[in-house]
Structure 1
């Protein structure tokens, strides 16, 4: 109330109650129209307000995401380290291999054949065949197998010496007359029986297929008991006979053997020719 107003004066509806003119007063009109005094906000009030809580939650979420991303990236980097090392090792190996290939360019290594690929016939090396055993000739002209084998030795020696077929026939016919194509030992020379033989004779010291005598200079007992040596000795003596090619079989054989029965050789000429034809 103003001091100049009367005591009994009452405010009218048209005339609102007077307000204090003191600007420093913080009082407001009383009653239901009194406006609440604004609250002072401290740190705790700021933290408990809804906008701040939302902001803090968003910030915490971002921080957690950054931490998770950093951890995940660290794990990924940890996983990449062995892979990077393996890639580096592989690159170094490839570089060494390329340098090795450069050094070995002059002598390239052939590619290994595919396991399923069939080798070409030229690439397949056949093992060397073992030499086949000489086939024993079938006996002809009424000879036994042992006689045919001895006749084969006589013919082979003549072929090795490049003797003509006529000489082969003369040699076979001579052996047929002298020993019936059997390798004889001598009962007079017991030594001769120490060597392989097929019969024993008693004609002085005559031995072997051609009944050659060691005492006449044909060779040692041991040598003359070998059919190949005895045949060679006969051919070499035949060569020494002048014009033996034009002689009859009997004359040529007698010129070598100096036998007591010079005409006996002729009877074997036909069979000897058959035998030589079967062996040559």
Structure 2
């Protein structure tokens, strides 16, 4: 849950809406189950903490499984950092025209370019519950 809180708080710091938080959490749930993942194909990714586990998909690292080749060329350390990778995700989301009105899975896909674009949809309900729980906890 700490990573989910970090994702929401990062979005709040950027002045984004609940919808952005839901898209980000649903994406992170699909990509990494909300875990910071190193990658066996990127040996230096094991040098950074926090690290919750590892994956082996291409050169994808971190919570959002951002590709080192495209997103983290000189920023591997930051792509392994939940706050920084959330900022990168949100910045890319804001570049998607009309993202606020798109279904969660479409908005997520436009940022991620996944081989499995419909898989984000299955996490929408849980992402909404997580976001609302965090927002309620903050208000308490």
Q: Place the TM-score, normalised by the shorter chain, in its bin.
A: over 0.9
Gaps of 5+ in 1: 1-147
Alignment of 1:127-142 (within 5 A): none
* Counterpart position of 2:66: 212
2:81 and 2:101 mapped to 1: Cα distance? 30
2:121 matched to which residue of 1? 266
Match for residue 76 of structure 2 among 214, 217, 221: 221
TM-score by length of 2: 0.93
Structure 1 residues 238-257: Cα deviation after superposition (integer angstroms, max 9, x where no partner): 00000111100010000000
Q: Is the 8 A contact 1:208 1:230 kept in 2?
A: yes
2:133 counterpart of 1:278: yes
Q: Under a length normalisation based on structure 1, what TM-score does the superposition of the two structures give? A: 0.47
Is 1:199 paired with 2:53? Answer: yes
Q: Which structure is richer in relative contact order (CA contacts within 8 A, separation 6 or more)? A: 2
Aligned residues: 133
Task: Please state if 1:187 is matched with 2:40.
Answer: yes
The answer to whether the aligner puts 1:154 opposite 2:7 as a matched pair is yes
Q: Deviation at 1:217?
A: 2.9
Gap runs ≥5 in structure 2: 136-140
Q: Which has the larger radius of gyration?
A: 1
Deviation at 1:218, TM superposition (A): 4.0
- Secondary structure of the structure 1 residue equivalent to 2:117: coil
Matches within 5 A, 1:1-280: 148-196=1-49, 197-218=51-72, 220-280=75-135
Q: Once the 2 structures are TM-superposed, how far is the Cα of residue 204 of structure 1 from its aligned partner? A: 1.2
- Name whichever structure is richer in helix by fraction: 2
CA contact (8 A) 1:186 1:207 kept: yes
C-alpha contact (below 8 Å) 1:218/1:233 kept by paired residues: no
Q: For 1:188-214, what per-residue CA distance to the aligned partner results, in whole angstroms no more than 9, with x for missing partners?
A: 111000111111111111000000012
Q: Secondary structure at the match of 2:126?
A: helix
Runs of 4+ in 1 over 4 A off after TM superposition: none
